[in-house]
């Protein structure tokens, strides 16, 4: 779809009719977008945009395969877009303007009706562009978790704890306005020490469902005195569940990990980076009857590897190969895909109905969390190592390296491919895929 034409038609109000009819209709879930004052610590208030007046937005539970309708009411005066991240749903409801989902105009509403799937830890967040405006897009509080419950659930745990990471008070590092930094950090909308602790009991198996809802920052987490057992990445069960002292999450990524609670005390689950943790990136985990201050104990190992959770067997061969060359630019855009920056990027052509292989060739000196909408990617080669059985929708491609990942082309219509780092997406790192 030609985005320039669409914006012009929107400017003329040609999309006003359908939303008006929709405004009268009922939905299973209503999400309101409005400006809020969020208290992220005692006396520390940030003004932001949020869903249903809370940061994060409400935890949504959907059933795999059961149709749901969600009414999104935009009480702000600027157009918004709500994306269902990790869902295999049609482009008119996926929540990307570039795919053809209509924007939710200011003071207007839209109903999204779709059949959720696949099951797992998904999330929803704004897909509006921000550019240099740090008061919009993923810099805001517009994010929340969706758990799509499977038709039958084999996972065994005693308690489920959703954790959503975010940063506040963004600013540009320098006059160059190239990189964003933050004054404060939060988990579940509160700085470390100011939220409700995660309350556990000895012997419990606790499932942490973690989303990095950061606009731009990767994070590394550890739970002092405990080890994670990773069971799913981006909501998709891994081939080989395994332990990890630390969890790496790029923007957009999720980790589901079970922790056996067998070290009573009061502990910090937080960023391994001291500066970020001290600026709020953590949450207290408190055993029943434990007394004292929350303790941070740095992990002994700091490496996290996708392939630890994959099989060593090669994935089946793909029938089509799609080269994705990532390069830096300095022409007003920052990044290019196959030599061009969005909106001038070439359409990525996939072969319908078969296994397609994306070959990410990151020629830049930064890692990029690449994200493909409406599909699941299986990592088949990570920096020279072959694997199978690790299914994701965001893959962190290390600097100056190659990563290969396959998807089944079974979702007709356009799908957006982009870097999940908001500042990268907004400055060229985006393309449409079709088949």
H or E stretch covering 185: strand 180-187
- State which residue, 38 or 213, has the beta carbon closest to Cu ion: 213
Task: Kindly state the smallest distance separating residue 72's Cβ from Cu ion, in Å.
Answer: 27
End-to-end C-alpha distance for the chain, whole angstroms:
14
List 238, 419, 432, 433, residue binding Cu ion (CB under 5 A)? 419
- State which residue, 59 or 367, has the beta carbon closest to Cu ion: 367
- State which residue, 68 or 326, has the beta carbon closest to Cu ion: 326
Q: State which of positions 317-376 bind Cu ion (CB under 5 A).
A: 368
Q: State which of positions 243-302 bind Cu ion (CB under 5 A).
A: none
- State which residue, 108 or 248, has the beta carbon closest to Cu ion: 248
Segment contacting Cu ion by CB under 5 A, of 20-28, 109-117, 188-196, 419-427: 419-427
CB 164 within 8 A of CB 145: yes
List 362, 376, 380, 421, residue binding Cu ion (CB under 5 A)? 421
- State which residue, 245 or 327, has the beta carbon closest to Cu ion: 327
Task: Kindly state the smallest distance separating residue 307's Cβ from Cu ion, in Å.
Answer: 21
- State which residue, 318 or 419, has the beta carbon closest to Cu ion: 419
Task: Kindly state the smallest distance separating residue 336's Cβ from Cu ion, in Å.
Answer: 12
Binding of Cu ion by 424 (CB under 5 A): yes
124-150 burial, b at 16+ Cβ within 10 Å, e below that, comes to: bbbbbbbeeebebbbbbbbbbbbbbeb
- State which residue, 219 or 368, has the beta carbon closest to Cu ion: 368
Q: What are phi and psi of 405, to 5 degrees?
A: -150, 140
Task: Kindly state the smallest distance separating residue 89's Cβ from Cu ion, in Å.
Answer: 25
Segment contacting Cu ion by CB under 5 A, of 27-35, 70-78, 279-287, 422-430: 422-430
Residue with token string 């758990």? 147
Number of residues that bind Cu ion (CB under 5 A): 4
Segment contacting Cu ion by CB under 5 A, of 9-17, 127-135, 222-230, 415-423: 415-423
CB 76 within 8 A of CB 34: yes
- State which residue, 93 or 416, has the beta carbon closest to Cu ion: 416
Within 10 angstroms of residue 307's Cβ, the number of other Cβ atoms is: 17
**CA distance linking residue 81 with residue 357, whole number of Å:** 29
Task: Kindly state the smallest distance separating residue 384's Cβ from Cu ion, in Å.
Answer: 21
**CA distance linking residue 216 with residue 239, whole number of Å:** 29
Segment contacting Cu ion by CB under 5 A, of 101-109, 211-219, 337-345, 416-424: 416-424
- State which residue, 97 or 424, has the beta carbon closest to Cu ion: 424
Q: Is 42 exposed, middle or buried (0-12, 13-18, 19+ CB in 10 A)?
A: exposed
Angle, vertex CA 212, rays to CA 210 and CA 215, nearest 5: 165
CB 378 within 8 A of CB 315: yes
Within 10 angstroms of residue 301's Cβ, the number of other Cβ atoms is: 9
Segment contacting Cu ion by CB under 5 A, of 7-15, 116-124, 255-263, 420-428: 420-428
Task: Kindly state the smallest distance separating residue 40's Cβ from Cu ion, in Å.
Answer: 26
Region of residue 343 (phi > 0: left; psi between -120 and 50: alpha; otherwise: beta): alpha
Angle, vertex CA 50, rays to CA 26 and CA 2, nearest 5: 75
- State which residue, 38 or 250, has the beta carbon closest to Cu ion: 250
Task: Kindly state the smallest distance separating residue 419's Cβ from Cu ion, in Å.
Answer: 3
Strand-pairing partners, residue 256, are 209, 232
Task: Kindly state the smallest distance separating residue 400's Cβ from Cu ion, in Å.
Answer: 14
Task: Kindly state the smallest distance separating residue 180's Cβ from Cu ion, in Å.
Answer: 12
Q: What track of x and - describes contact with Cu ion for positions 368 through 397 (by CB under 5 A)?
A: x-----------------------------
57-91 burial, b at 16+ Cβ within 10 Å, e below that, comes to: bbebebbeeeebebbbbbebebbbbbbbbbbbbbb
Within 10 angstroms of residue 158's Cβ, the number of other Cβ atoms is: 14
Task: Kindly state the smallest distance separating residue 94's Cβ from Cu ion, in Å.
Answer: 21
How many helices (H) and strands (E) the chain has is answered by: 5, 31
Q: State which of positions 140-199 bind Cu ion (CB under 5 A).
A: none
Binding site for Cu ion (CB under 5 A): 368, 419, 421, 424
């Amino acid at each position: 779809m030609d985005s320039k034409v669409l914006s012009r038609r929107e400017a003329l109000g040609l999309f006003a009719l359908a939303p008006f009819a929709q405004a009268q209709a009922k939905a299973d879930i209503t999400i309101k977008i409005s400006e809020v004052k969020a208290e992220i610590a005692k006396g520390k208030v940030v003004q932001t945009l949020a869903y249903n007046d809370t940061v994060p937005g409400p935890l949504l539970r959907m059933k795999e395969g059961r149709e749901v309708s969600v009414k999104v009411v935009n009480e702000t005066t600027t157009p918004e877009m709500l994306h269902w991240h990790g869902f295999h749903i049609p482009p008119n409801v996926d929540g990307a303007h570039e795919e053809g989902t209509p924007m939710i105009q200011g003071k207007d509403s839209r109903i999204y009706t779709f059949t959720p799937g696949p099951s797992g830890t998904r999330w929803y967040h704004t897909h509006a562009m921000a550019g240099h405006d740090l008061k919009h897009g993923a810099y805001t509080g517009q994010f929340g978790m969706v758990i799509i419950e499977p038709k039958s659930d084999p996972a065994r745990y005693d308690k489920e704890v959703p954790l959503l990471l975010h940063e506040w008070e963004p600013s540009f590092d320098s006059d160059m306005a190239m990189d964003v930094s933050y004054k404060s950090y939060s988990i579940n909308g509160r700085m470390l020490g100011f939220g409700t602790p995660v309350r556990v009991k000895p012997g419990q198996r606790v499932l942490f469902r973690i989303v990095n809802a950061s606009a731009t920052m990767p994070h590394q987490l550890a739970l002092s005195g405990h080890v994670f057992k990773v069971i799913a990445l981006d909501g998709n069960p891994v081939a080989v569940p395994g332990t990890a002292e630390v969890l790496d999450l790029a923007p957009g990524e999720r980790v589901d990990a079970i922790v056996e609670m067998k070290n009573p005390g009061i502990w910090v689950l937080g960023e391994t980076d001291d500066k970020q943790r001290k600026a709020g990136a953590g949450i207290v985990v408190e055993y029943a009857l434990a007394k004292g201050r929350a303790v941070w104990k740095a992990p002994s190992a700091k490496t996290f590897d996708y392939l630890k959770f994959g099989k060593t067997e090669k994935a089946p061969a793909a029938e089509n190969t799609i080269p994705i060359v990532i390069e830096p630019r300095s022409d007003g855009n920052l990044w290019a895909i196959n030599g061009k920056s969005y909106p001038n990027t070439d359409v990525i052509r996939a072969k319908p109905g078969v296994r397609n292989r994306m070959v990410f060739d990151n020629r830049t000196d930064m890692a990029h969390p690449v994200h493909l909408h409406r599909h699941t990617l299986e990592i088949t080669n990570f920096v020279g190592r072959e694997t199978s059985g690790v299914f994701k929708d965001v893959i962190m491609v290390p600097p100056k390296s190659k990563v290969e990942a396959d998807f089944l082309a079974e979702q007709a219509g356009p799908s957006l491919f982009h870097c999940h780092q908001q500042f990268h997406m907004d400055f060229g790192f985006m393309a449409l895929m079709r088949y």
